[in-house]
Structure 1
Amino acid sequence: MSAPRPVAIVTGSSSGIGAAAARRLARAGFDVAVTYSRNADGARSTAAACKAEGAAAIVVRGDVSVDADCRAIAAAAAAAWGRIDVLVNNAGTTRYAEARDLDALDAADFQHVFGTNVTGAYQMARAAAPHLRAAPDAAIVNVSSHAGFSGAGSSTAYAASKGALNTLTLGLARALAPAIRVNAVCPGFVATDWGLAWQEPAEYEAFQRRAADVAPLRRIPTADGVAECIVWLATAAAFVTGQLLVIDGGTHLTVGSPLAQP
C-alpha cells in the first residue's frame, strides 16, 4: 500500500503566484486545496492543472478576512484527506493609490487591506494549526512582498500590510515551533497581470521593462520562479524558520551606497 500523499492549502490560488504554487506542489507530490474568493473559473483551472500533475484537488471558496471561512477551508482539506501538511498564505489585496496623495486612502482602505493580507494569514494559520501540528514536517509559507521593506508598491496601505505580515511571520515562527516551520517569500515586481488592475497594458509592459533594466540580474521574477522558492521553503528547508526570503532579481541591491566612487 502506498504512503498517503501530503496535503497543501494554497489560498488565493486562482491565478498568479498562488496558482503557480499549487501546480508546483502538485508536481512535488501534494494533494491540493485550491481556494478563491471571486475567480471561480481560475480556481477550477488551477485544480485541473494540479490533477494533470497526478494530484487530487478540491476547490474551496472563502474570504480569508472572515474567520469562519478560514475555519471552513481548513475543515474542507482535513475532511477530504485527513491531514494538512503545508499552508501557503497567498491571498492578498490592495487599494491602488499614489503614495504622495495622503487623502487617497482612509481608515476603511487600511482595514480592508490588512483584513486580507495580515488578519487573513493569521486566521488561516490558526485554523490549520491543529492539523499541521500532527504532520511530520509541517510548514507555513506566507507570500509577502519587498514592499514590506521598501515602503514602495501599489499603495502605502499595501506596503504597510506586508511589513506587518513579515512581523507576523517571525511571531508565528516562534509560537508554532518546533512543530511547524514558518517563513515568508518577499517578491519584488513579478511578471504577472497584477499591475493591469491600475495600469494600461502598454504602460505595464514598459514598467516591467524598466524594473528588469534596474535589477542586477536584468530580469524580474516570474510567478513560477516565486512558486519554486515557496515549494523549497515548504518541503526542503528543514532547518529554516522565521526567514523572509527576498526574490527580486537583486533590485534591493540598487540602493545608492555612500561608499560608491563619484
Structure 2
Amino acid sequence: MAKDGLCAIVTGSASGLGAATAEILARSGARLVINYSSSQKEAEATAEACRKAGAAEVVVAQGDVSRDEDCRKIVGVAAPWGRLDVLINNAGTTKHVAHGNLEGLSSEDFQRLFGVNTIGPFQMVRAARSLLEAGANASGRPSAVVNVSSVAGISGVGSSIAYAASKGALNTITLSLARALAPLIRVNTVCPGYIDTPWFTKGRGEDAAKQVRDNVVAKVPLKVASTAEDIAQLVCFLATPASSNMTGEIVRMDAGLHLIT
C-alpha cells in the first residue's frame, strides 16, 4: 500500500486543466494515474512532466469515461496501491453550437455530451468507491472527489445548450453524491469560467478563440483570462486535506464574470 503522498486519478489529464492539476499534485510526491481517451502522445508527455516534478509513481491509462468498462479499467490501474485518496473527474467534451440554433444539436449530441460530462464522473466514482473508502480508512480523513464542471452549468451559457445541461446535471450529482458517500468520501465541484487553453482554439479556430479571450479580458471585473494553472490550484485545494471539512460545494472561479451578468 502506498504511503508516500496522495494516490490520485485525474481523468482527461493529457493536456489543459487536467495536465496542470496532475503536475501540481506531482510536486507533493503523489502517485498518479494519467488518463486519456485518444491523445496518447500528450498523455505520455504529461506523465513525464509529472515524474520530473517529483511524483512517486505515474501510470498512464487509456479509457473513455462514458464507457463503464473503461472506468473500471482506469480505476483498476490504481488497485495495486491499495487505496485512492483523490479522484478528479476532469474529462469533458462539447460541441460548439449557437444556443439559438436548435437544429444544430441532435439527440446523439446530447447523449455523447452527457455520456462524458455527466455519466462518466458518476461511473468513475462508482468504480473507485471501495478504493476511496480504503484511502479514508488508512489516512483517518475523508478521501476527495473533485468534479470539474463549468459556469455553463450554473448560468446556462457556454459552447452549447447540451454542454450547459450536462454540466448542470453534474452539479446536481455532486450534491447527491456528497450526501450519499459521507463521511468517508467528500465530493466537491469546481465551476470555471473561461480558461485560456487550446479548448477554444480547437472548437472555434485561432481567430475566433483570440476574440473570445479578448472579450473576456475586457468584460470581467478582474481583467484577466484564467489559465489552466489558475484553476488547477483550486482543484488541488479541494483535493487535498487543506479543504478536509468541505463537501457538497459548487465553487465558481470566473474572474468575477457572474457579478456583471
TM-score range, shorter chain: over 0.9
Q: In 2, distance between residues paired with 1:134 and 1:126? A: 14
Q: The residue matched to 2:66 in structure 1 has which SS?
A: coil
Contact 2:94 2:113 in 1 (8 A): yes
Contact 2:28 2:54 in 1 (8 A): no
Q: The residue matched to 1:14 in structure 2 has which SS?
A: coil
- Where does structure 2 lack aligned partners over 5 or more consecutive residues? none
Q: 1:111 maps to which residue?
A: 111
Q: The residue matched to 1:217 in structure 2 has which SS?
A: coil
Q: In 1, distance between residues paired with 2:16 and 2:127? A: 24
Q: 1:144 maps to which residue?
A: 149
Contact 2:4 2:30 in 1 (8 A): no
Q: In 1, distance between residues paired with 2:129 and 2:3? A: 22
Give % identity. Answer: 49
Amino acid corresponding to residue 65 of structure 1 in structure 2: S
Q: 2:180 maps to which residue?
A: 175
**Larger proportion of helix:** 2
Superposition pairs for residues 90-239 of structure 1, below 5 Å?
A: 90-135=90-135, 136=139, 137=141, 138-235=143-240, 236-239=242-245
Contact 2:186 2:247 in 1 (8 A): yes
Per-residue deviation, residues 194-235 of structure 1 (Å, max 9, x unmatched): 011232212211210110111111112110011100110011
Q: 1:67 maps to which residue?
A: 68
Q: In 2, distance between residues paired with 1:82 and 1:28? A: 19
Q: In 2, distance between residues paired with 1:38 and 1:62? A: 8
Q: In 1, distance between residues paired with 2:133 and 2:3? A: 19
Per-residue deviation, residues 127-170 of structure 1 (Å, max 9, x unmatched): 01100011123000000000001111111000000000000011
Q: In 1, distance between residues paired with 2:89 and 2:3? A: 26
1:82–1:245: structure 2 CA closer, same or farther, 3 Å change rule? same
How does the TM-score come out when normalised to structure 2?
0.95
Q: In 2, distance between residues paired with 1:4 and 1:22? A: 16
Q: 2:246 maps to which residue?
A: 240
Q: In 2, distance between residues paired with 1:14 and 1:253? A: 33
Amino acid corresponding to residue 250 of structure 1 in structure 2: G
Q: In 2, distance between residues paired with 1:57 and 1:127? A: 20
How does the TM-score come out when normalised to structure 1?
0.94
Q: Which runs of 4+ in 1 moved over 3 A?
A: none
Q: The residue matched to 1:69 in structure 2 has which SS?
A: helix
Q: 1:251 maps to which residue?
A: 257
Q: 1:12 maps to which residue?
A: 12
Amino acid corresponding to residue 238 of structure 1 in structure 2: S
RMSD: 1.1
Deviates more, 1:229-238 or 1:3-12: 3-12
Q: 1:258 maps to which residue?
A: none
Contact 1:10 1:87 in 2 (8 A): yes
Amino acid corresponding to residue 22 of structure 1 in structure 2: A
Q: The residue matched to 1:198 in structure 2 has which SS?
A: helix
Q: 2:54 maps to which residue?
A: 54
Q: Once the 2 structures are TM-superposed, how far is the Cα of residue 3 of structure 1 from its aligned partner?
A: 4.1
Q: The residue matched to 1:35 in structure 2 has which SS?
A: strand
Q: In 2, distance between residues paired with 1:29 and 1:181? A: 22
- Where does structure 1 lack aligned partners over 5 or more consecutive residues? 256-262
Amino acid corresponding to residue 220 of structure 1 in structure 2: A
Contact 1:7 1:85 in 2 (8 A): yes
Pairs aligned (count): 253
Q: In 2, distance between residues paired with 1:124 and 1:22? A: 17
